[in-house]
Structure 1
Amino acid sequence: MATDRQFQKNSMYLETPEDGAVKNFDDDGRIKRTGTWVTASAHIITAVIGSGVLSLAWAIAQMGWVAGPAVLFAFSFITYFTSTLLADSYRSPDPVHGKRNYTYSDVVKSTLGGKRFQLCGLAQYINLVGVTIGYTITASISMVAVKRSNCFHKHGHAIMSFAYSSIGLGLSIAKLTGGGHHVRTSLTGVQVGVDVSGSEKVWRTFQAIGDIAFAYAYSNVLIEIQDTLKSSPPENKVMKRASLIGIMTTTIFYVLCGCLGYAAFGNDAPGNFLTGFGFYEPFWLIDFANVCIAVHLVGAYQVFCQPIFGFVEKWSRERWSESQFVNGEYGFNIPFCGTYNINFFRVVWRTAYVIVTAVIAMIFPFFNDFLGLIGSLSFWPLTVYFPIEMYIKQSKMQKFTFTWTWMKILSWACLIVSIISAAGSIQGLAQALKKYQPFKAQQ
């Protein structure tokens, strides 16, 4: 009896005078989840729509009115399809009654294990590091735009044409309906011999595919979102519904931003959607848009950094378990705030990480080139390969059946797309570095 009472006290029950014991935790001892398809859809929309949307007008401009929207819809379909496979892998070995897996890495480890679990970790951390660098670039661009808009509002319009950020979708419509300004668009995008050379057209198209892949990247947080859902109805069914709603909403928004941005700017669409508007009023609206971007990305930077910080600090504690520098906690009394515990290794390591990512962002301040590279590196392994392989393993699918064959074809096709888009982004970075001479203007 004493053991039972202790279990109730510490694990799953709260005592109430009315009905005795009330279950307050899930069957695995964790706090009871309360998420629904509504909250999951909101999480998906906010996770997907990020800085990737800023490059879509440029991406559409590289491919034109036919291929651009077609690629957007293709990525939305692939992302939705693989997200349904990933949703079925949340519990293993059975998608409804199996053991819960709390993170993407847990799912891969439970289902595939071994070297593929290590490959998953490598892909995830490369993606996280890349995202933090990309967010540093984007936030800094927005802050510079705020300074420029205020400067030009105070001192007048300059001889050189500076890019001003704005609230993109609304200002695109305003620009389209304003009249008096015509831009060149075409079914195939930028024109060879007019806008770019033949080789540049090919490389830019590859890079644009990577930008779109980055815009749809959310698979690495899908399991964490699904882990917030109630256990009834089954989490995989609710997550599939939420994924459909979230991706449909995102795709509509992306098509509007990409297509209206291309219509507003034509073949000269800028790499960053919010820095291409050439009018200066109302300047406060332009500032507000950029401040929103900066605030959002500063917060998002913290979120994406936490898994990296946690991994390095856990590994360091295990590697140097006797080190006081790594493991020691020191209390400091802060007036009016109480005692604050500081770990010196955490302070040094996290500060160094922020400095390194900032330096890399300064070396490669090329927005759409960098986003394309991140999207290329993370799309195939995290969005396509692992969900397909885990579904095949969990469903015990026989080799060379029809479903097995076309799933493998889809996986290999997406690998090829990722490789060529990565090549395009690397070539774009190389070309941008050659042209980027920050001190030339001062000489």
Structure 2
Amino acid sequence: MGWIAGPIALVAFSLVTLFTSYLLADCYRAADGTRNYIYKDAGKNYLGGIKYKFCAIFQYSYLFGVTIGYTITTAISLVAMKKAICFHKHGHDHDYALSNNPFIILFGLIEIVLSQVPNFHKLAFLSYIAAIMSFGYASIGKPVDKDYSGEEKMWSCFAAIGNIAFAYAFAVVLIEIQDTIRSGPPESKVMKRASTAGILISAIFYLLCGMLGYAAFGNDALGNFLTGYGFYEPYWLVFMAN
């Protein structure tokens, strides 16, 4: 996307997400002080009529799409882990075909099982693990050479915008997250502070990754350098990153 459009897109998406997060934080409690436990409740209280049903359809459709994205991405990373070991043993030219489908099914089954855990939101250690993982793979990856035609560059720009939007996918479940905050200080203030910190750190990280990578390699970078095998060794690092 270049030096101008790229950083602008990153900053714009983070600001829009921050603004949205603030609005949703204020929507958690209705004017009479009652809680809106889920996104649809807030839509019903503030919009009324049939509009809240459209909000619910949008949210569930979005969650459905995001879940598909994470499931496929996870499967691709699991395959990359197996391939990393195979390439280390048999060489980088070894043709190691492996389907993503079994891993998609496996991860989907794990998601179904985990979704049945009572009080899943109280498993705070999962959030810490997720944060460590995010910093980990973003620190390990590095871009590599790749040539693009004009048409490929255009689609890569669209893909880049989609990736940026996907990176801020959490906003659609903020009210559900806010409902897990214990009473005490106003929940909206706590949520706004958390959203500000999270989005600020994410935006800085995305800017550093994007700008440093672009400064080093320009357009010659793989879309996913951990699963596209931009680098093979040390294989244990590729394995750990995935």
The TM-score with structure 1 as length reference comes to 0.42
Q: How big is the shift at 1:84?
A: 0.9
Matches within 5 A, 1:1-12: none
Report the RMSD for the aligned CA atoms in angstroms: 2.7
Matches within 5 A, 1:91-170: 91-93=29-31, 98-158=33-93, 167-170=137-140
Letter in 1 for 2:162: G
State percent identity of aligned pairs.
60
Measured against aligned partners, the alpha-carbon deviations of 1:37-63 in whole angstroms (never above 9, x if no partner) come to xxxxxxxxxxxxxxxxxxxxxxxxxx0
Q: 1:267 to 1:126 in 2, by over 3 A?
A: same
- Counterpart CA distance in 2 for 1:79 and 1:168 is 21
Matched, 1:205 2:153: no
- Counterpart CA distance in 2 for 1:280 and 1:207 is 24
Matched, 1:272 2:224: yes
- Counterpart CA distance in 1 for 2:5 and 2:61 is 29
Letter in 2 for 1:122: I
Matched, 1:70 2:5: no
- Counterpart CA distance in 2 for 1:207 and 1:153 is 31
Contact 1:92 1:99 in 2 (8 A): yes
- Counterpart CA distance in 2 for 1:205 and 1:278 is 19
Which has the higher relative contact order, 1 or 2, with Cα contacts under 8 A spaced 6 or more apart? 2
Q: How big is the shift at 1:255?
A: 1.5
Q: How big is the shift at 1:202?
A: 4.3
Measured against aligned partners, the alpha-carbon deviations of 1:49-103 in whole angstroms (never above 9, x if no partner) come to xxxxxxxxxxxxxx01221111100111111112111111111125xxx111111
Contact 2:39 2:56 in 1 (8 A): no
Matched, 1:215 2:167: yes
List structure 1 segments (4+ residues) > 3 angstroms apart after TM superposition.
199-204, 260-266, 276-279
Equivalent in the alignment of 2:115: none
- Counterpart CA distance in 2 for 1:265 and 1:159 is 27
User: Given the alignment, which residue of 195, 205, 211 partners 2:148?
Assistant: 195
Q: 1:87 to 1:279 in 2, by over 3 A?
A: closer
Q: 1:219 to 1:157 in 2, by over 3 A?
A: closer
- Counterpart CA distance in 1 for 2:35 and 2:64 is 27
Measured against aligned partners, the alpha-carbon deviations of 1:262-286 in whole angstroms (never above 9, x if no partner) come to 3455313222242245433221221
- Counterpart CA distance in 1 for 2:66 and 2:154 is 25
Q: How big is the shift at 1:169?
A: 2.2
In structure 1, the residue corresponding to 2:50 is in which secondary structure? helix
- Counterpart CA distance in 2 for 1:83 and 1:125 is 18
Equivalent in the alignment of 1:232: 184
In structure 1, the residue corresponding to 2:185 is in which secondary structure? coil
Contact 1:261 1:273 in 2 (8 A): no
Measured against aligned partners, the alpha-carbon deviations of 1:302-348 in whole angstroms (never above 9, x if no partner) come to xxxxxxxxxxxxxxxxxxxxxxxxxxxxxxxxxxxxxxxxxxxxxxx
In structure 2, the residue corresponding to 1:230 is in which secondary structure? coil
Structure 2 residue runs without a partner (length 5+): 98-135
Q: How big is the shift at 1:216?
A: 1.1
Contact 2:141 2:225 in 1 (8 A): no
The TM-score with structure 2 as length reference comes to 0.73
Contact 1:90 1:100 in 2 (8 A): yes
Contact 2:222 2:230 in 1 (8 A): no
Matched, 1:84 2:7: no
- Counterpart CA distance in 2 for 1:80 and 1:107 is 18
Q: How big is the shift at 1:207?
A: 3.7
Equivalent in the alignment of 2:121: none
Query: Which has the larger Rg?
Result: 1
Higher strand share: 1
